[in-house]
Amino acid sequence: MGLHFRNPPPPSARSRPTYLFPFVVSLSIFSLAALLLYKVDDVILRTKTLAGHNLDPTPWHVFPPKVFDEEARRSIAYKAFQCSYLTCPSTFSSAEQRQQRAFLQSPNHVQQCPEFFRWIHHDLEPWTKTRITTTHIAEAKNLAAFRVVIVGGRLFVDLYYDCVQSRAMFTIWGLLQLLRKYPGMVPDVDMMFDCMDRPTLNRTEYGSLPFPLFRYCTTRDHFDIPFPDWSFWGWPETNLRPWSEEFRDIKQGSRAQSWLKKWPRAYWKGNPDVVSPIRQELLKCNHSRLWGAQIMRQNWIEEAKSGYEQSKLSNQCNHRYKIYAEGYAWSVSLKYILSCGSVTLIISPKYEDFFSRGLIPKKNYWPISSTDLCPSIKSAVDWGNANLLEAKAIGERGQDFMESLSMDRIYDYMFHLITEYSKLLDFKPSPPSTALEVCSDSLLCLADPIAKQFLERSTTIPSPTPPCKLQPADGNLIRNWMQQKKNVINDVETMKSQNRPAG
Ligand SMILES: *[C@@H]1O[C@H](CO)[C@@H](O)[C@H](O)[C@H]1NC(C)=O
Ligand SMILES: *[C@@H]1O[C@H](CO)[C@@H](O)[C@H](O)[C@H]1NC(C)=O
């Protein structure tokens, strides 16, 4: 545009007074610039981000919208704009990609994936015949908070709604780390995510046109596809660090007290005020002698003020039994509870996350009935205190199960789930025009200083080994597992009623 100043006026203008011409040109340039600035400003102030800028909470699960400091709104908006548009380099070196592809051609020494990975086939079974079409994706969009499109190892996000706290950011971070761990190996894919708690695709209601929606949990009666939740990469709002660090410290903490010296009681600490009838019921079992249980209230606001000293998970492994109670839906606490090496008393859960389906009653946890809650807890505690070695072994196997669920395995689960899902797509994924590319740098640029610390600690590097090998689909096997699980739980119920004092 600067050229206009230096060029002589065109011949037709020569007849007009010469001083007017530069004035008109400057004026129009000025207005154009002002208009452009206004437009840019407008775009910037409306940029949606993974931190929640310019997004409403999900209408199906409302929560207080995030408040961004009004005074600093403009500078935040410019930062958000800068983070969103300006920081993604091209991704991986081709040498890295070649190295990774070589994995796929060397099937030697490849570990089998854990058995529960077979649920991946079960979760995707509704689309094996119909495959996944753009219609499925368009339908799923109505219940999604964001869409993730991966093309050529680059990740694009289309944001529809905000997610509570930092869930969206940590979930996308996990995906970015997966791309980094297995460069050149993650296939192109188009996935719809909801980040709120409860599954929505009821198998009865959506039976005629099931559509694929990823979230953190599901139930037997839902089509929702479970995906590892954000807390494996950290949950800054509750001071939970990345899973590898938390597990290591909890396991260490669990050794502070030998099994026999642990309190012969069942312990629960959490937030009962999350619209969870079972947690309300649990409060009634708070009697050490009568029910063998100690139920403690977690106050996150107080905890945050006192530096989370009281909520340290590694200090909460001093009881022989630990209770798991679902919250509003599944709870991320399950993995920490199992890590203690105490006998985990799981109150008959409605929800399943991606790994909890690998748990086996009486092998690595003890099932508790929700209908007869306090007596069920008491019965489990009495059984364990009378069968110390068996109880100890159940606790250890629970801890071993969580130890085997290392971050490497979690990335493998994501890898296989995404790979199997991508095989079902009957179209070539491409990012919608409204989507923005996200990379580690652009995401870190958006994170507040505390979130950033958590994220940086869960950064991955390219893996020296290939992902574990996924077993083929076997629907009968999964049906057998479900039946066996039911049988064992019934046995425990029967045992409980037989041991009840007569009269
Ligand atoms: C699914 O929908 C049916 C019919 O509306 C209802 O009876 C059933 O309780 C729902 N199931 C779940 C798990 O919400
Ligand atoms: C449960 O009982 C203990 C000891 O009596 C008490 O300190 C604790 O506050 C009680 N828990 C709740 C949730 O009321």
What is the CB < 6 Å shell around ligand 1?
A: 202, 204-205, 219, 221
Asked whether 79 lines ligand 2 (CB < 6 A), one says: no
Query: What's the pLDDT at 491?
Result: 93
Cα–ligand 1 centroid distance for 193 (angstroms): 22
d(CA 255, CA 252): 5
268 Cα to the center of ligand 1, angstroms: 31
**What does the alpha-carbon distance between residue 90 and residue 104 come to, in Å, rounded to a whole number?**
23
CA distance linking residue 234 with residue 244, whole number of Å = 10
Residue 181 pLDDT level (bands cut at 50, 70, 90): very high
CATH topology of domain 237-352+356-404+487-499: Rossmann fold (3.40.50)
pLDDT of residue 474: 95
Per-residue confidence band for 108, with pLDDT thresholds at 50, 70 and 90: low
Average pLDDT score over residue span 187-196: 97
- Ligand number, closest to the Cα atom of 294: 2
Q: Which residues contact 53 (CB under 8 A, 6 or more apart)?
A: 47, 68, 76, 77, 80
Residue to substitute in 204, 205, 219 for testing ligand 1 pocket (most ligand atoms within 8 angstroms of CB): 204
| pLDDT score for 352 | 97
202 C-alpha to ligand 1 centroid (Å): 6
Phi, psi of 345 (to 5 degrees): -95, 105
Contacts of residue 90, Cβ cutoff 8 Å, sequence gap at least 6: none
pLDDT band at 95 (very low <50, low <70, confident <90, very high): low
Residue 2 pLDDT grade (very low, low, confident, very high; cuts 50, 70, 90): very low
Confidence of residue 40 (pLDDT cuts 50, 70, 90): low
Query: Which span out of 3-12, 32-41, 191-200, 300-309 was modeled with the highest average pLDDT?
Result: 191-200
CA of residue 44 to ligand 1 center, whole Å: 43
Mean pLDDT in residue range 136-162: 97
For ligand 2, what atom is nearest to the CA of residue 294? 1
For the chain, domain boundaries? 86-224+432-472, 237-352+356-404+487-499
Length of the chain: 503
Is residue 395 pLDDT above 80, yes or no? yes
319 residue type, one letter: H
* Closest atom, ligand 2, to C-alpha of 286: 1
Q: What is the pLDDT of residue 416?
A: 98
- Residue 486 has a CB neighbour count (10 Å cut-off) of 11
Ligand 2 within 6 A of CB of 271: no
Residue 92 pLDDT: 58
Tell me what pLDDT residue 502 has.
Answer: 46
Q: What is the DSSP code (8-state) at residue 49?
A: -
Among the residue ranges 84-98, 150-164, 352-366, the one predicted with the least confidence is 84-98
Cα 461 to Cα 452: distance, rounded to the nearest angstrom? 17
Split at pLDDT 50, 70, 90, the class of 104 is: low
* pLDDT winner (highest mean) among 24-28, 92-96, 302-306, 441-445: 441-445
Least confident of 13-17, 353-357, 381-385: 13-17
- Provide the pLDDT for residue 79: 74
Q: How far is the CA of 212 from the centre of ligand 2 (A)?
A: 43
Residue 269: pLDDT over 80? yes
As a whole number, the mean pLDDT across the chain is: 89
Question: What backbone torsions phi and psi does residue 5 show, to the nearest 5 degrees?
Answer: -70, -40
pLDDT at 1 over 90: no
Taking 70 as the threshold, does the pLDDT of residue 376 lie above it? yes
